[in-house]
């Protein structure tokens, strides 16, 4: 194992927001010198969780490994308990033999593999086949049982997306969750096809059909060409945290990463907590009560800024981004 390669990959993984458990697993797999391997992670989301599959590949010309992409899939299944895995179990070739199975950490991959079976198979969860809970079963390639608790996960349409990386640069794990939930993320390290660097707000376009690789394409809102300035947009609303420079900086960073931070506003004459998110496409913020119910943004706008917000919105409706395409 090349230690310089390990050090570089550790730095890339940390910058992308992956945890120490994955760093340890990565080192273990690199020591085996296999040509390629995968690592798995799972992050909480608003309505379920996001399963991540990291793809590592060894160079054909050296012993260096590269992390070129990770796949994300949104699902509503519960996180696995420690030591458990999903299993696709098939009948033994001979009576009394140990039941062969294939293990998965990712429920989306487990379901996909199970659906490809053409004979008898069982989809289960547990530490091994001797201590399993059956989730689904099929006979002669036809599913004849899915447990009540697993039906929504099994039949729900998985929402996959591949996030490509270039020497550790790309969307972080945190940003991937927010993109998959429909929000915008700010990038200041983009390159056009001509190799020109630029900045833009990025959002997955769920209004267009998926591409040949079953990925959504991106909407891009160039900075400064599109006109969405997070500082000015925040200043259009009466938000308590903006009075503290440190809290303001933290708030701006959270919004650029696509998060929905909680802030303090005044509602009906009383302090209230609400969540906010950037509505970059429309040049505004969205507000939500603690229970998730949308709030009227006008209730929190500064009187002097309403005319400016309307003007910015009109400008945005006349043209979107500069048409640059994401290359990394």
Report if residue 322 sits inside a domain: no
**Highest mean pLDDT: which of 42-51, 99-108, 189-198?**
189-198
Find the mean pLDDT for residues 235-240. 95
Identify whether residues 218 and 248 lie together within a single domain: no
Q: Model confidence at 47, in pLDDT bands (50, 70, 90)? A: confident
End-to-end CA distance of the chain: 27
Identify whether residues 55 and 129 lie together within a single domain: no
Report if residue 80 sits inside a domain: no
Identify whether residues 234 and 311 lie together within a single domain: yes
Report if residue 17 sits inside a domain: yes
Identify whether residues 69 and 46 lie together within a single domain: yes
Identify whether residues 175 and 293 lie together within a single domain: no
42 pLDDT more than 50: yes
Which of 155, 172, 205 is the last residue in one of the domains?
A: 155
Identify whether residues 52 and 97 lie together within a single domain: no
**What pLDDT, in 10s, does the model give residues 274-318?**
999 999 999 999 999 999 999 999 999 987 545 545 555 555 555
Identify whether residues 181 and 219 lie together within a single domain: yes
SS3 readout for 130-141: HHEEEEEEEECC
Which of 192, 223, 254 is the last residue in one of the domains?
A: 223
Question: What is the domain range of residue 124?
Answer: 85-155
Please, are residues 68 and 57 in contact by the beta-carbon 8 Å criterion? yes
Identify whether residues 131 and 169 lie together within a single domain: no
Q: DSSP for 213-259?
A: TS---EEEEEETTT---HHHHHHTB--GGGGSHHHHHHHHHHHHTT-
Report if residue 208 sits inside a domain: yes
Retrieve residue 284's tokens. Answer: 């505004």
Report if residue 79 sits inside a domain: no
pLDDT at residue number 92: 63
Identify whether residues 166 and 112 lie together within a single domain: no
152 pLDDT more than 60: yes
Q: Model confidence at 325, in pLDDT bands (50, 70, 90)? A: very low
Identify whether residues 235 and 298 lie together within a single domain: yes
Q: Which residues pair with 185 in a beta bridge?
A: 202
Identify whether residues 234 and 302 lie together within a single domain: yes
Quick count: other Cβ atoms within 10 Å of Cβ 56? Answer: 20
Which of 127, 155, 183 is the last residue in one of the domains?
A: 155
**What pLDDT, in 10s, does the model give residues 158-185?**
778 999 999 889 999 999 999 999 999 9
pLDDT at residue number 91: 81
Report if residue 205 sits inside a domain: yes
The domain total for the chain is 3
Q: Which residue matches tokens 């500069």? A: 322
pTM listed for this prediction: 0.82
Identify whether residues 151 and 163 lie together within a single domain: no
């Amino acid at each position: 194992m090349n230690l310089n390669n390990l050090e570089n990959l550790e730095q890339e993984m940390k910058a992308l927001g992956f945890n120490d458990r994955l760093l340890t697993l990565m080192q273990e797999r690199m020591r085996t010198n296999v040509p390629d391997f995968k690592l798995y992670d799972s992050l909480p989301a608003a309505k379920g969780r996001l399963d991540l599959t990291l793809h590592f590949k060894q160079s054909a010309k050296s012993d260096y490994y590269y992390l070129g992409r990770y796949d994300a899939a949104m699902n509503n299944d519960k996180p696995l308990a420690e030591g458990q895995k999903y299993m696709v179990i098939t009948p033994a070739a001979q009576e009394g033999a140990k039941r062969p199975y294939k293990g998965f950490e990712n429920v989306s991959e487990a379901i996909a593999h199970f659906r490809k079976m053409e004979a008898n198979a069982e989809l289960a969860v547990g530490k091994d086949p001797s201590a399993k809970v059956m989730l689904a079963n099929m006979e002669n390639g036809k599913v004849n049982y899915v447990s009540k608790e697993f039906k929504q996960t099994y039949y729900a349409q998985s929402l996959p997306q591949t996030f490509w990386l270039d020497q550790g640069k790309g969307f972080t794990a945190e940003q991937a969750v927010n993109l998959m939930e429909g929000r915008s993320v700010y990038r200041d390290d983009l390159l056009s096809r001509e190799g020109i660097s630029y900045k833009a707000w990025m959002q997955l376009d769920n209004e267009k059909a998926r591409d040949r690789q079953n990925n959504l394409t991106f909407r891009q809102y160039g900075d400064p060409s599109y006109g969405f300035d997070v500082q000015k947009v925040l200043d259009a609303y009466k938000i308590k945290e903006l009075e503290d420079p440190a809290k303001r900086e933290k708030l701006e960073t959270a919004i650029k990463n696509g998060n929905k931070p909680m802030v303090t506003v005044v509602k009906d004459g009383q302090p209230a907590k609400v969540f906010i998110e950037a509505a970059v496409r429309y040049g505004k913020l969205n507000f939500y009560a603690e229970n998730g119910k949308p709030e009227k943004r006008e209730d929190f706008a500064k009187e002097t800024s309403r005319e400016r917000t309307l003007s910015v919105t009109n400008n945005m409706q006349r043209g979107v981004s500069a048409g640059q395409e994401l290359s990394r």
